[in-house]
Chains A and B, each alone.
Chain A
Amino acid sequence: MTTQTTAIASVHPRGLTSGGVPRSRRSTPRRFFARLPIRILIAVLLIVEIYPMLWMFLGSFKTQSEFLNDPFWALPKTWSLDNYVEVFDSGFGHYIVNSIIVVFPSLALILLFGVAAGFALEVMVWKGRGTVLLLFLAGIMVPTQMILLPLFTIYFRTGLTGTYWPLILTYVATGLPLTVFMMATFFRSVPREIFEASTLDGASILRSFWAVGLPLVRNAIFTVGLVQFFFLWNDLLIALTFTNSDALRTIQVGLLNFTGQYGAVQYGPTFAAIAVNVLGTLLLYLFLNQQVMKGLTAGSVKG
């Protein structure tokens, strides 16, 4: 556990500032050729990373016969949206709505509870707070498989099965350990004097939390929120366990079952479904990539 703590502490404050080692100013004519292998390596790296996405995107416009008869590098003959229309006709829009209904309330609760708990565990002084923090940490290590069966029984007995609640409750509980841990780390970097000063000024501790603590860790909350969003939006295991009907399926479960609906694979619609599925996270990454990289690496304990 100690190593994880220090690793996170060392990743977080440095962040991803684009620094590096200043280049040695030695320039020779051979330099171009000396760097050639590196250039080729980088070119291959970029192709490997980008081409599959490009191929998927182009494929989402192709017809079934283009897939079966043309080579894979052929461009689509027309830019028709038929495949996308078919994807949404088959109920994919409903899966997206389900995911939104489940993920955003879960996210709000995780952040609200997690930030408050992180504050209580790090800023406030009381006996046993170390033990409680360790208790939360244990939740990061334990595989989700450990809690699925009892939860299945609990939700069944309490009649929650068949609603959105099993997903929301499980998401909140599994999201809390990492959030509490990360928030405690962020609060640790806030000088204690700030809270002592606000206390001396007569603020109650709840007011210090709300008016002083929260604004100070605003960026951290945003980062943790981003990280948790990716975990929840991309979750398959919990969604697969607790969605017992097509009406409840989230976007990931819907995509997993998408190909199963047809005898033969319908290439165009499958590619369009993948494109729709990927679009949300990809756009988010396009605009917020620095925060996403910082957050996900800081949250790497989750594995």
Chain B
Amino acid sequence: MDRVLGDKRAIFVLLGPALLVYSLVMLVPILWSLGYTVFDGNPIVGFTFNGLGNFTKFFQDPAAWSAIWFTIRYALVLTILQVGTGFGLSLLYVFWLKKASSTIRTIVFFPVVLPTVAVALLFQRLFEAAPTTGPVNSLLNVFGIPSVDWFGTPDASFWIIILMDLWRSMGFYAVLLYAGLLDIPEEMLESARLDGAGGWKLVRTIVLPLSLPVLLSSLIFSINGTLKVFDTIIALTNGGPGNATTPLTLYMFQTSFTYGEYGYGSTIALMLTILCLLFTVFIFRSTRRDITKG
């Protein structure tokens, strides 16, 4: 038995192609990219050894700090909003809509499958101020509020980006958390109801603690996804106005492909990777502590 299930030749045939492509196109470039971080230049003009120069440059670069700050702010705000809204929606599905929730679930989920570029172009038009007045500004005008140039100021742009990504993702987190809520045993909810817990008390004392594991994984998925935001921003604001909405991913892209600085670009990419790891570990740690306390 073990001889057949451990057949070396079969393992090679089955695993070989995947491992080969994965190693050549992912693992080798990852290590290669680490190597780039101590060099300056690009393949056309050649590379010169730069030691830790790229790292000192990174920490003294105001544009890099602005990108880090934007990335973290965006990731934290969107993570809280999308997991929070998703949880709210999942409670709505389970406790109010019950069996009728299937259609609503499907409708609220659908923006997830839409291409980001298409949604971004649509949102540009929805929030347009001039030359035509988009629906949002038209609505404001109805209430006597003058049109707002949403993409003209850093703050307004930030919130449009958040709003658009929330629109795209809340249905997704709702379904993810909904599946978690269904795992709560009905007897537990029933006995809590008999004990007089209802409404928010039931949610706070029973539902929330029991859905903590799936909430935790949602937070980790969300923070890892949002720290890597790229499509939304390049299509919606292209980092503007100025570089006010430029995240690390876009800054890396511009540095590498517009200015041809491969060494510095790789350094930014590495910093982004480290940021993702730090946040994942941090969420892990902080929630673990809470569980042991409760």
A80 within 8 A of B: no
A68 within 8 A of B: yes
A186 within 8 A of B: no
Interchain CB contact (< 8 A) of B213 among A6, A148, A264: A6
Contact segment of B53-61, B87-95, B143-151, B152-160: B87-95
Is B36 within 8 A of A149, CB to CB? yes
In the complex, which residues of chain A have a beta carbon less than 8 angstroms from the beta carbon of B214?
Answer: 7, 10-11
Give chain B interface residues in 90-149, CB to chain A under 8 Å.
92-99, 101-102, 104-118, 121-123, 125-126, 131-135, 138
CA of A195 to CA of B10, assembled, Å: 14
Is A10 within 8 A of B22, CB to CB? no
B167 within 8 A of A: yes
Is A124 within 8 A of B230, CB to CB? no
Is B33 within 8 A of A150, CB to CB? yes
B43 within 8 A of A: yes
Range, interface on chain B: 35 or more
With A125-B5, A141-B277, A143-B249 known as contacts, the answer to whether A132 contacts B113 (CB < 8 A) is: no
CA of A278 to CA of B119, assembled, Å: 9
Is B230 within 8 A of A236, CB to CB? yes
CA of A169 to CA of B28, assembled, Å: 14
A262-303 vs B, Cβ < 8 Å mask (1 yes, 0 no): 001001001100100110011011000110110011001111
A3 within 8 A of B: yes
B294 within 8 A of A: no
In the complex, which residues of chain A have a beta carbon less than 8 angstroms from the beta carbon of B116?
Answer: 234, 236, 252
B272 within 8 A of A: yes
Tally of A-B Cβ pairs under 8 angstroms? 318
Is A176 within 8 A of B110, CB to CB? no
In the complex, which residues of chain A have a beta carbon less than 8 angstroms from the beta carbon of B117?
Answer: 236, 252, 255-256, 277
Is B122 within 8 A of A18, CB to CB? no
Is A255 within 8 A of B270, CB to CB? no
With A143-B273, A176-B21, A236-B117 known as contacts, the answer to whether A49 contacts B1 (CB < 8 A) is: no
| Chain A minimum-CB-distance residue to B25 | A173
Interchain CB contact (< 8 A) of A67 among B25, B101, B118, B132: B132
Is A146 within 8 A of B107, CB to CB? no
CA of A174 to CA of B24, assembled, Å: 11
- Say how far B147's CB is from chain A's closest CB, in angstroms: 12
Is B222 within 8 A of A303, CB to CB? yes
| Chain B minimum-CB-distance residue to A140 | B224
With A11-B179, A177-B22 known as contacts, the answer to whether A256 contacts B4 (CB < 8 A) is: no
In the complex, which residues of chain A have a beta carbon less than 8 angstroms from the beta carbon of B224?
Answer: 141, 303
Is B107 within 8 A of A46, CB to CB? yes
Is A237 within 8 A of B231, CB to CB? yes
In the complex, which residues of chain B have a beta carbon less than 8 angstroms from the beta carbon of A55?
Answer: 126, 135
Is A21 within 8 A of B95, CB to CB? yes
- Say how far B167's CB is from chain A's closest CB, in angstroms: 7
Interchain CB contact (< 8 A) of B217 among A7, A35, A38, A48: A7
Is B10 within 8 A of A293, CB to CB? no
In the complex, which residues of chain B have a beta carbon less than 8 angstroms from the beta carbon of A52?
Answer: 122-123, 126, 167
B38 within 8 A of A: no
A29 within 8 A of B: no
CA of A67 to CA of B135, assembled, Å: 11
For this complex, 30 residue pairs linking A to B, each with C-beta atoms less than 8 Å apart, are A11-B179, A11-B180, A14-B182, A18-B102, A51-B135, A73-B138, A113-B17, A117-B14, A117-B15, A123-B5, A132-B15, A139-B22, A141-B280, A142-B26, A143-B276, A145-B228, A145-B253, A148-B256, A149-B256, A150-B33, A169-B21, A252-B117, A274-B121, A277-B117, A278-B115, A292-B113, A297-B175, A300-B172, A300-B217, A300-B221
Interchain residue pairs A-B with the least CB separation, the first 6: A303-B225, A173-B25, A7-B217, A117-B18, A150-B32, A150-B29
